[in-house]
């Protein structure tokens, strides 16, 4: 993670850089069917989530230019801006809540709002994202944050043998905070 990336604080969470203990927390969370499928993966109930996979998950966050751990007392997920284009003043957003106990409780919108404030505060004009059409929880979260559906990529992901559309959503700087 970029050394100059600030810690962002919300009412119930902190967005921060990864720490060594995050590996243990991520390992203990294992795999959850709903979360794996929301990421577009195929859930295998017989697969063991390994220490190597937990280490790789945390290392992935560390290697991004603009990514944070979502900390609600401990690691619960991560959020990042990627595909940042300073010429066109745009970026894409990705978020993953890896602890099922934190799903549907407002932690996603809180983290997204903090990152959008950071992004638009640094001069970005547009933030976009992609979400599987079957992920109604995430779609509701993104709408709550002000994102609007801009398009759809039909049958873009094969999840558990079923084709899913990718919904493309976006938010402009002037729309942020007006929802």
Name the token pair of 106: 């407002």
d(C-alpha 163, C-alpha 179), whole Å = 32
Contact 45, 23 (CB under 8 A): no
Residue among 91, 132, 98 nearest 18 (CA): 98
CA dist 60 → 17, 54, 66, 79 (Å): 12, 10, 11, 11
Given the DSSP bridges, would you call strands 126-132 and 90-97 parallel, antiparallel or unpaired? parallel
Q: What is the pLDDT along the chain (179 residues), one digit of tens a residue?
A: 445 799 999 999 999 999 999 999 999 999 998 898 888 888 888 999 999 999 999 999 999 999 999 999 999 999 999 999 999 999 999 999 999 999 999 999 999 999 999 999 999 999 999 999 999 999 999 999 999 999 999 999 998 889 999 999 999 999 998 65
Q: Which DSSP letter does residue 101 get?
A: G
What does the pLDDT read at residue 4? 77
What does the pLDDT read at residue 39? 85
pTM confidence score: 0.94
Q: Which 3 state secondary structure label does DSSP give 163?
A: strand
What does the pLDDT read at residue 179? 52
d(C-alpha 105, C-alpha 121), whole Å = 26
d(C-alpha 18, C-alpha 59), whole Å = 8
What does the pLDDT read at residue 1? 43
């Amino acid at each position: 993670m970029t050394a100059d990336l600030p810690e962002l604080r919300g009412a119930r969470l902190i967005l921060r850089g990864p720490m060594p203990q995050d590996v243990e927390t991520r390992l203990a969370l294992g795999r959850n069917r709903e979360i794996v499928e929301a990421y577009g993966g195929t859930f295998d109930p017989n697969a063991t989530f390994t220490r190597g996979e937990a280490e790789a998950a945390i290392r992935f966050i560390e290697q991004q230019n603009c990514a944070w751990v979502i900390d609600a007392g401990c690691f619960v997920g991560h959020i990042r801006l990627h595909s940042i284009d300073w010429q066109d003043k745009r970026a894409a957003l990705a978020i993953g809540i890896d602890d099922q106990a934190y799903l549907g409780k407002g932690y996603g919108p809180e983290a997204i709002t903090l990152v959008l404030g950071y992004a638009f505060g640094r001069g970005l004009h547009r933030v976009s994202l992609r979400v599987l059409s079957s992920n109604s929880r995430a779609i509701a979260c993104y709408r709550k944050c002000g994102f609007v559906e801009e398009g759809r990529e039909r049958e873009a992901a094969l999840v558990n043998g079923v084709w899913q559309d990718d919904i493309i959503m976006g938010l402009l700087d002037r729309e942020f905070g007006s929802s």
